[in-house]
Structure 1
Amino acid sequence: MGVILSIIDQNIFPPKAKWTVAEVPDLSSRVALVTGGNSGIGLETVKVLLLHNAKVYIGCRSIAKAEAAIDALERDTGKRAILLPLDLSSLDSIKQAAAELHEKESALHVLFNNAGVMACPTTSLTHDGYDMQFGVNVLGHFYLTKLLLPLLLAGAKSSPDGVARIVNTSSQTHILGNINFDALTDTPTRSKMSPDDLYAQSKFANVVFSSECAKRYGSDGIVSTALHPGMLTTDIGRHFHPLKRRFVHALCHSPPWGAITQLWAGTAPEAASANGKYLIPWARIGSPHPSTLDPEIGGTWSFISLAKLRGDTVLFALFVVWLAHAVSFVVFRSVEWPGAFLISGLHLGAQSGLAILGMIMFRLSPLHPLYDFPGPVLYSTSNLWMARLVSSGTRHTTIQAFHRKYGKFVRIGPNSLSINSHTAVNAIYGSAKAMDRSAAYRLQPLPGAGLFFTLNRDVHHTRRNVWGRAFSPANLDYLQPILNRRTAELSECIQQRARHDGVVNLSRCIEDWSFDFMGDFAFGPQNSFELMRDGDAEDLVKNGKTATALFDIFGVIPWFLDIMWYLPNTQSIKRLHSLSRKLLAHRKTLPMNEDDQDLSCFLLASGDASEKLTDDEMTMDLIFAIQAGSDTTANVLQYIFFFLISHPTVYTRLSAELEAAFPTAGTFLDFRTLEDLPYLNAVVNEGLRMGTPLSGLERMTPANGCAIDDKFLPGNTIVSVPAFTQQLDPSNFFPHPEQYLPERWLPGGLGEGSILEPSAIMSFSFGPYGCLGRTLAFQELRLVVARLMLDFNMEPTSDFDPNAYGRNIRNIRTTFFPDALFVKLKSKASD
């Protein structure tokens, strides 16, 4: 009977409100964030906050819906809310949203954890594999709150009433729930629960979380409340059966009524003393279910400690434990300091050793999800073996050997599989449902996340659209004269740097050319890179290659990325970052002309709220554009010229084709003509096939797992298709897949029975994360090869050994040649 009366009291006929939104104080100096502020009671809350002069951010997943709401609010209030892109079903999106708010604000005064989902199908999971209702309603808000705590603490200090507030929207249905720890992810236990049960569980957890926040941060000036907003005619019940929804709505109140309670909690002066309280309609203090206050449940809240494991934090924690242990020996056992440090180290080492041994035993046991997949045993025990292999530069050839020994599927890490299958490429990389990137792309602690280091699919898509403008057909036409000019300068640079005997370091010339052109691409006429003219006194090329290699090595063990920043070698990365930041700052001081079509122009002009980038994000994008664009092109060109001077027959045939197409010396090289030259394209394609010795790009299988080539892969497994292995696989290129034979790309190939699978070339990847610069890269490769072949007669130096040179090439995501490629050349203009 008591439950029925409480339902009537809190939902159908609550008492007349004693507090109204007219009593909201002036909020001129306060910043608020409302999740789900684009609709329902969230929208009403934002409206009132704006009317009382607060600066309000709306956290919303749908950019279009948020923009429509913001426009409507501006018409109603004369003030404009600010969009904060936020998908509460994705931990990566939450992290990026929090980072953006940290970038824009120094304090946050009120956090309304308002957004939620209700009664969605049991099959619904978050991006990270959690139950959708628990993931959005609880997990997402928990992680967001945790990341925003520094801003909230600052808000408490700057707020006129001395507190910052966290308002957690729960529901009266929390009295029907509890936290079933076996039902938070896709488990058999969860599959037996109804959507209503899962919703009640999430609302119960909202109250637990609110209570724990109150206990842990109340002394720091943070007031945390949970509330039941009432039964309201919002869209949260969209998953109900139509008849049920119609019946429920008949008993509901309008959204403005629902906003009263959370506005009181977030703004009323008297609510500053409501820390830890549970509120009911309309702005009354009620009593939650007693189980929500159970210390045991609250104490287990650490189950949801979602901060990513940081390597530097782990090392610091171990150091503190070691030091504390040593101090205890000195203080309580009168051991001398040297002995105390030694004993403490031995104890800690023994305990860590036991933990590591247990972990290794599990990884090798039948209990591990990847137990049935073959592979080298050592690599199954720890990612350290793969990190060591990557640092050697021979990962591409070693993994190729693994596949020859173990077959299509090879376990190359405790939680990693390499899959040598052409059909797997589309499932992993190419389709609309391609897998998400792994933690190897997590870039910390540099501020901002560039396009390449963006894990969230939706955010990446938005950022990619901005980049796409720089690679549009019209913009590629704009770049053609710039590329022609820079390539003519390359020809002049080669002549100037050649020794008296005609020998020149072709590698250095090509690297400088590539850096100069990508500087033009990134910064346009304001580009200050002139390496061909002035040399590379700052070692920009070397620093870029070092940075790329470090990310590849440490990315194998993502939490090592945090340790990496304390090593001396990372100065190269920091120098590139600093340089890009300075160039961007200079670019922003210059007027934006209509004719400007460089990448920085497009990034700065991204005015849509969903596309607007911070300076840190643009800095990272520009670093990546210059480094990745210059390094990869220069590497492939060095490979191509290495193959050309090592294969005189190929060299002669290509030279004849080019001279027939451009018989006059110094002729302007038309891109469309180059595109139509069959042997030139064959030389370039074969150079890409043989000259991109890349390992696989890591992706993560869905939480539910998936099937590839009739083999089930467990959820959250890191998978990759090895590019080098695929590009030299006889099932894709036959015969002689390990030989440089451009003829395979011509009509008829290498004769009867030959196989050519162009889609097995993985140099540019595929799908949602594929390289946007593919067309530009082909234009660069064709133009440089044609220009230099037409301008010079080239041959290897007398001491050149092509077999030794090719055998000693290494790749650590960037290619390291055993020595610069020196060639002997003579200008054709002098003949």
Structure 2
Amino acid sequence: MERIRSARRMFSESFPPSPKFTENDVPNLTQKVFLVTGGSSGIGLELSRVLYHHGARVIIAGRSEKSYNEAVSEIKANPAKGRNNFPKGSMEFLKIDLSDLTTVKPAAQELLSRIDRLDIAWYNAGVMIPPVGSKTTQGYELQWGTNVVAHFLLNRFLSPLQLRTAESAPAGSVRTIWVSSSAHHFGPEPYGVNFDDINYDRAAKKPAPFLTYGQSKVGDVLLAYEYANMVSDKGVVSLSLNPGNLRSNLQRHIGNIARRILGFLLLYPPRLGGLTELYAGFAPEPAAKKGFSFVIPWGRIGVLNKNVQIGIEQHGTAKKLWSILEKETDKYM
């Protein structure tokens, strides 16, 4: 029976109904400040487009200022769907390399010197199935170090400002969003993270990149869950999401023929993933649900993978990961 329920959930996430929360449901965002890591491409760009065309101040964090400038030109030239009547916001570049933890503190300090509030942080940037053996500067498996560790460290710097913002902001409006994936269903057994050897340094055989990608997406879920336990009573909503199976440069490491077939059969336009992220940021349901929520395409409250949920509830995996990463990132604070 559980296998049937799991198959239904996977089908629903892979072939979602039409979105009910769209650009038209986003309020005027004038005087609001938002951070989007990886906002120069893919769903991050689609999200930044909507925020800008609703009057927001948008901080786009990434490695390449050239990519940022190209994204800005594209966003300004192509307004968010149906949104020509809002005042335009502003966009700013924040240089950070999430594959190198030494860049996080300078970037965070630079950001905190510019802003006095932070309404929503979307930890959106990510790496997907790079060549086997790829590492961050600090020696983490590339997907784990980029998707999980770097965002955890960045959040350590930004959390105090979000908590201060929540003191005067409307209830439920200050949010931290850790972008996961349907790949969280495919992390290592039994509960999604191979805690005994997270980077598979001691493995006799290196794991398939999709397994370690899935592990990184479980990591994002665990951080969102534990952070919700820490800040939900203080006015900050912490949640995770699966943005959907989307056409983006995340698939750049997949072979061309495989990518074309996959794109034709299963992948959707990035705008729809952007709508999932907008729902997580602005829809009332995630704020109304006390504690952690997991959002699925194209903007619905969903259910975590059963084994990941068991790990959280019965084996303390979220708390365990938080403790591990605190110790590992102390030196970069």
Give the TM-score normalised by the residue count of structure 1: 0.36
Counterpart code for 1:32: F
Runs of 4+ in 1 over 6 A off after TM superposition: none
CA deviation map 1:390-417 (0-9, x unaligned): xxxxxxxxxxxxxxxxxxxxxxxxxxxx
Q: Which of 133, 148, 164 is matched with 2:143 structurally?
A: 133
CA distance in 2, matches of 1:10, 1:280: 6
Counterpart of 2:106 in structure 1 is: 96
CA distance in 2, matches of 1:109, 1:97: 18
Counterpart of 2:274 in structure 1 is: 259
CA deviation map 1:475-494 (0-9, x unaligned): xxxxxxxxxxxxxxxxxxxx
Counterpart of 1:303 in structure 2 is: 324
Counterpart of 2:22 in structure 1 is: 20
> Does residue 176 in structure 1 map to residue 186 in structure 2?
yes
Counterpart code for 1:276: F
**Aligned 1:642-661 pairs, distance under 5 A:** none
Q: CA deviation at 1:96?
A: 1.1
Match of 1:74, SS state, is helix
CA distance in 2, matches of 1:99, 1:266: 24
Contact 1:70 1:80 in 2 (8 A): no
Counterpart of 1:568 in structure 2 is: none
The percent identity for this pair of structures is 36
Counterpart code for 2:183: T
Match of 1:238, SS state, is helix
Counterpart of 1:164 in structure 2 is: 174
CA distance in 2, matches of 1:79, 1:278: 29
CA gap of 1:175–1:20, structure 2 versus 1, over 3 A, is same
Q: Which has the higher contact order (CA 8 A, sep 6+)?
A: 2
Counterpart of 1:68 in structure 2 is: 70
Match of 1:308, SS state, is helix
Match of 2:48, SS state, is helix
CA distance in 2, matches of 1:37, 1:217: 25
CA distance in 1, matches of 2:225, 2:307: 11
CA gap of 1:162–1:119, structure 2 versus 1, over 3 A, is closer
CA deviation map 1:294-319 (0-9, x unaligned): 2421221211114435xxxxxxxxxx
CA distance in 1, matches of 2:193, 2:172: 34
CA distance in 1, matches of 2:194, 2:105: 26
What are structure 1's unaligned runs of at least 5 residues? 310-438, 445-831
Contact 2:57 2:89 in 1 (8 A): no
> Does residue 282 in structure 1 map to residue 298 in structure 2?
yes
Counterpart of 2:228 in structure 1 is: 214
> Does residue 116 in structure 1 map to residue 126 in structure 2?
yes
Match of 1:203, SS state, is helix
Counterpart code for 1:124: S
> Does residue 200 in structure 1 map to residue 214 in structure 2?
yes
> Does residue 145 in structure 1 map to residue 161 in structure 2?
no
Counterpart code for 1:133: Q
Counterpart of 1:637 in structure 2 is: none
CA gap of 1:226–1:255, structure 2 versus 1, over 3 A, is same
Q: Which of 223, 245, 253 is matched with 2:237 structurally?
A: 223
Count, aligned residues:
310
Match of 1:81, SS state, is strand
Contact 1:73 1:80 in 2 (8 A): no
CA gap of 1:191–1:271, structure 2 versus 1, over 3 A, is same
**Aligned 1:241-252 pairs, distance under 5 A:** 241-250=255-264, 251-252=266-267
Pick the structure with greater CA Rg: 1
CA gap of 1:2–1:240, structure 2 versus 1, over 3 A, is farther
**Aligned 1:375-524 pairs, distance under 5 A:** none
Considering fraction of residues, name the structure with more helix: 1
CA distance in 2, matches of 1:260, 1:162: 19
Q: CA deviation at 1:271?
A: 3.2
Counterpart of 2:8 in structure 1 is: 5
Counterpart of 1:657 in structure 2 is: none
Match of 2:253, SS state, is coil
Match of 2:78, SS state, is helix
CA distance in 1, matches of 2:147, 2:278: 19
What are structure 2's unaligned runs of at least 5 residues? 80-87
CA distance in 2, matches of 1:268, 1:25: 10
Counterpart of 2:82 in structure 1 is: none
Contact 1:166 1:223 in 2 (8 A): yes
> Does residue 53 in structure 1 map to residue 51 in structure 2?
no
Match of 2:129, SS state, is coil
Give the TM-score normalised by the residue count of structure 2: 0.88
CA deviation map 1:566-612 (0-9, x unaligned): xxxxxxxxxxxxxxxxxxxxxxxxxxxxxxxxxxxxxxxxxxxxxxx
Contact 1:73 1:79 in 2 (8 A): no
Counterpart of 1:750 in structure 2 is: none
**Aligned 1:766-785 pairs, distance under 5 A:** none
Contact 2:132 2:206 in 1 (8 A): no
Q: CA deviation at 1:237?
A: 1.0
CA distance in 2, matches of 1:166, 1:190: 38
Q: CA deviation at 1:190?
A: 8.0
Counterpart code for 1:303: I
CA distance in 2, matches of 1:118, 1:190: 23
CA gap of 1:29–1:190, structure 2 versus 1, over 3 A, is farther
RMSD of the TM alignment (CA)? 1.9
